[in-house]
Amino acid sequence: MVKEIERHGFPVVHMCTVVPISLTVGANRIVPTVAIPHPLGNPAMEPADEKELRRKLVKKALKALTTEVDGQTVFGD
Amino acid sequence: MSKARVVHYINQFYAGIGGEEKADTPPEKRDGTVGPGMAFQTALKDVADIVGTVICGDSYFNEHLEESSAKVLEYIKSYDPQIVIVGPGFNAGRYGMACGTVAQLVDENLHIPVVGGLYPENPGCEMYKRYGYFVEVGNSATSMRTAVPAMAAIVKKLAAGEEVTEGFMEKGLRKNYFAEKRGSRRAVDMLLKKIAGEEFVTEYPMPVFDRVDPQPAIKDITKARIALVSSGGPVPKGNPDHIESSSASKFGKYSLVDIDDFTPENGETAHGGYDPVYANLDLDRVLPVDVIKEMLKAGEIGSLHDYWYATVGNGTSVANAKAFATQIAEDLIADHVNGVILTST
């Protein structure tokens, strides 16, 4: 889906935990996330900290959308 | 002839440990057969013995790749096998990736053959089929009855020291042989046939890379219109469109206008491929609506597309996913969206 949406002309950032799958399906901008059942959260954290973690990940995703890339790029730490 | 020693790799589900709630089970080993290993043992009869089974939860394996790889390899090695069976993983994404990774580990470190079974659309297939004899199997466990004999047939040949030439998906590896005519002659023959409009068979089929070039970056994010899409199944409470928990036939389009934060009352996941507990308590963990709404108010993004799009990427066919994406993209074009955040579980 990432690839097919991007084909229509928008940059797409894929936020996912299993990065090798994202690379296989052809995502160009990839932000690795926390865990499969809770990519954008961590139930072990305090709610405020968890939200802060999510905010950081979303900021990273927006950063990825504003970054020119030549090919598949993983936006790690 | 002594029997070949076989080790079998399976996930927590086939080991009978549990479903998604146990997908975080770390690697373990058990002597002899477990779960589908019994069917393999019956099929292999007096040719091979499944001496041990190595088990790992699908989420655990993928989330702790290095650690689980080392542990699984150590457990497999401890049984001193001559052949390793993985899966079959059907169309289970994480299981397929685990089966493929195990095949690569065994191939590169133990240099013994691996036999597996995957559905061709499983992401583990394209990435790892070169590391083992992967039989094409159906997309769900209902095809176990045909998968076991097909995989066992290859194990039998390997155990007998015979060459395996068919019954598995092309590995994409080159094999040297002596041809009667030299290369230049063969190439000219092919060219002449092509000119004459006759059929010819290439010796080097070009791989098909279906890639999409990255779109240009957004220049100013504070002016950009952003849309949220997810294959993790985030839907309004009650799943109004009845999106299937696996092999989804549709996607949903839901208004974000009245939602600033997901709670157990307004959102849930329709995805059947992971433990839904965390997503059902707070769906922001799958689709970050709370944060994106705050960023919108703070002017960190220009605007937000009024709807989110959700489907379930669990065993969903590539053809369906492609069709959903096209419809979603047309919607986004109409609303002048500049960039998309797509989350997956």
According to the model, what pLDDT value does residue B1 have? 58
Instruction: Report pLDDT for B203.
Output: 83
Of B339, B343, B345, the CB nearest to A10: B339
Q: What is the pLDDT of residue A24?
A: 86
Distances (CA, A) of B124 to B117, B207, B208: 10, 18, 17
pLDDT digits (tens, 9 = 90+) for B228-276: 999 999 999 999 999 999 999 999 999 999 999 999 999 999 999 999 9
Using a CB-CB cut-off of 8 Å, the residues of chain B touching A21 are: 93, 97, 123, 344
Q: Which residue has the higher pLDDT, B46 or B282?
A: B282
Inter-chain touch A54–B127, beta carbons under 8 Å: no
- Alpha carbons B192 and B210: distance in angstroms, whole number: 30
Binary contact (A37, B276; C-beta < 8 A): yes
Contact A6 B313 (CB under 8 A): no
Q: Which of A40, A65, A70 sits opposite B285 (nearest CB)?
A: A40
State the average pLDDT over residues B61-79.
96
Confidence at residue A6, expressed as pLDDT on a 0 to 100 scale: 95
Lowest mean per-residue pLDDT among B33-37, B199-203, B269-273:
B199-203
pLDDT of residue B133: 97
Please tell me the class of the B4-159 domain: alpha beta
Decide if B256 contacts A19 (C-beta within 8 A): no
pLDDT above 70 (res B290) = yes
Residues 6+ apart with CB under 8 A from A22: A2, A14, A16, A30, B344
Residue of B nearest to A50 (CA): B285
Please give the residue range of the domain that contains residue A39: 2-74
Please tell me which residue of chain A has the smallest CA distance to B124.
Answer: A21
Average pLDDT of the residues of chain A: 94
pLDDT tens for each residue of B308-326: 999 999 888 888 899 999 9
Residue B310 near residue B230 (C-beta atoms within 8 A): yes
Angle in degrees, 0-180, between the axes of helices B289-297 and A47-65, rounded to the nearest 10: 70
State the total domains in chain A: 1
Which helix H or strand E contains B236, and what residues bound it?
strand B234-236
The reply to whether residue A18 touches residue B286, judged by beta carbons under 8 angstroms, is no
Is the Cβ–Cβ distance between A15 and B43 less than 8 Å?
no
CB contact under 8 A, B288 and A11: no
Question: Where along chain B do its domains lie?
Answer: 4-159, 221-343
The pair of three-digit structure tokens given for residue B108, joined into one six-digit string: 């590169």
For residue A73, which residues of chain B lie inside 8 Å, CB to CB? Answer: 214
Q: Which of B49, B64, B43 is nearest to B8 (CA)?
A: B49
- Provide the CA B331 distance to its chain's centre, in angstroms: 28
Of A28-32, B160-164, B282-286, the poorest mean pLDDT is in B160-164
**pLDDT exceeds 70 at position B25:** yes
Q: How many CB atoms lie within 10 A of CB B225?
A: 17
- At B126, the pLDDT band (50, 70, 90 cuts) reads confident
Confidence of residue B207 (pLDDT cuts 50, 70, 90): low
Q: What is the mean pLDDT of residues B181-189?
A: 93
* Spatial distance between the Cα atoms of B226 and A62, rounded to a whole number of angstroms: 9
Write phi, then psi, for B186 (nearest 5 degrees): -65, -40
Q: Please report where in the chains the tokens 């993790």 appear, as a residue.
A: B232
Number of alpha carbons in the 13 Å side-chain half-sphere of residue B195: 6
Angle at which helix B65-78 crosses helix B93-105, to 10 degrees, equals 60
